[in-house]
């Protein structure tokens, strides 16, 4: 056999092996760090095991330190799938053309935020926020959080006709919902905005002292968390891979897995579902 024919044969074999090599890649996902990191590791480690079994590929969860880091990892193809909040999902999909929202929690179709207050303020629950919140200290969650910043700020501006910095004497960003609860409960901040699901989960876990902190207002509902996937996964993991991921997410029915989110189930989602989030972010200057 001539050297040319031998080389051509080796090249043909290598090309034939390319799909198999692609299938051997590790499928990596992350999630916005909206709770304590140890809880996230436990929660998403289980999800990685489930997805690996369903997709028949190695699946790895990698933690990130911030919402912005989750978006950056998605943009740079360090992860191919992410559990984003409403705003972070919109931001990520704008940076990676062809990326798609696949599934959301049943509850994410009508998500909501709680405004919570330290009981020392004397603030009471009501259908509207009282003018008595003016001049007090206030903390959001992460700057990029839909439920801990975007939507609460939108409704604050709508009711008081002013930016948070003009309503409150001091405005902070705790970084995540668990820290928001802890800071308001301790009195480090008098009022805060928090994801309702984290509040209810921590209430069940007994970490909230009802004598020190309580809910004083609930926002109207809006779309929030979703699984978003890069548009190029089929090229890397094989034809139909995106659909397999969607089916696996929608088929997640193990009560233990669902409780860790916590979600009742997962339902189909699309990019169009999050147009209201994008429009709200543009309205208050968080998106161009």
φ/ψ bin of 240: left (φ > 0), alpha (ψ from -120 to 50), beta (otherwise): left
- Nearest alpha carbon to residue 136 among 126, 127, 123: 123
Give residue 1's pLDDT.
52
Domain ranges of the chain: 3-109+224-282, 112-218
> With respect to CATH, is domain 112-218 assigned 3.40.190.10?
yes
CA distance 216 to 123: 7
Over the chain (288 residues), what is each successive 10-residue block's mean pLDDT?
Answer: 48 41 74 77 90 97 93 97 96 96 96 97 95 97 93 94 96 95 98 95 94 97 95 96 98 91 93 93 87
Give residue 288's pLDDT.
82
Give residue 161's pLDDT.
94
Give residue 41's pLDDT.
81
Identify the DSSP state of 271. Answer: G
Total-model pTM: 0.78
How are strands ordered across the β-sheet holding 266-268? 59-61, 27-31, 81-84, 226-229, 100-105, 266-268
3-state secondary structure of 87: helix
CA distance 139 to 257: 30
Give residue 16's pLDDT.
43
Give residue 36's pLDDT.
67
The percent of the chain in helix, strand and coil, each rounded to the nearest 5, is 50, 20, 35
Structure-token match 């360090």, residue found: 78
Give residue 153's pLDDT.
94
Architecture of domain 3-109+224-282: 3-Layer(aba) Sandwich (3.40)
**The pair of three-digit structure tokens given for residue 80, joined into one six-digit string:** 């191919």
**The pair of three-digit structure tokens given for residue 136, joined into one six-digit string:** 């007090």
């Amino acid at each position: 056999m001539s050297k040319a024919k031998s080389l051509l044969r080796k090249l043909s074999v290598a090309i034939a092996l390319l799909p198999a090599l692609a299938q051997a890649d590790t499928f990596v996902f992350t999630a916005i760090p909206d709770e304590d990191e140890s809880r996230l590791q436990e929660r998403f480690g289980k999800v990685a095991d489930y997805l690996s079994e369903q997709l028949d590929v190695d699946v790895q969860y990698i933690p990130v330190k911030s919402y912005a880091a989750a978006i950056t990892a998605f943009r740079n193809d360090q992860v191919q799938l992410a559990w984003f909040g409403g705003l972070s999902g919109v931001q990520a999909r704008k940076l990676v053309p062809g990326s798609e929202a696949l599934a959301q929690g049943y509850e994410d179709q009508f998500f909501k935020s709680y405004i919570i207050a330290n009981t020392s303020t004397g603030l009471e629950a009501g259908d509207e926020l009282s003018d008595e919140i003016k001049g007090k200290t206030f903390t959001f969650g992460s700057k990029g959080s839909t439920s801990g910043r975007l939507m609460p700020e939108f409704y604050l501006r709508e009711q008081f006709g002013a930016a948070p910095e003009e309503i409150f004497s001091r405005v902070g960003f705790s970084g995540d919902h668990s820290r928001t609860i802890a800071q308001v409960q301790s009195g480090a901040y008098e009022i805060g905005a928090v994801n309702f699901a984290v509040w209810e989960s921590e209430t069940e876990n007994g970490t909230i002292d009802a004598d020190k902190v309580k809910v004083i207002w609930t926002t109207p509902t809006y779309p929030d968390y979703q699984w978003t996937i890069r548009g190029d996964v089929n090229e890397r993991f094989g034809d139909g891979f995106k659909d397999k991921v969607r089916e696996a997410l929608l088929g997640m029915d193990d009560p233990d897995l669902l409780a860790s989110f916590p979600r009742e189930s997962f339902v189909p989602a699309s990019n169009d579902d999050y147009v209201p989030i994008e429009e709200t972010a543009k309205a208050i200057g968080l998106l161009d």
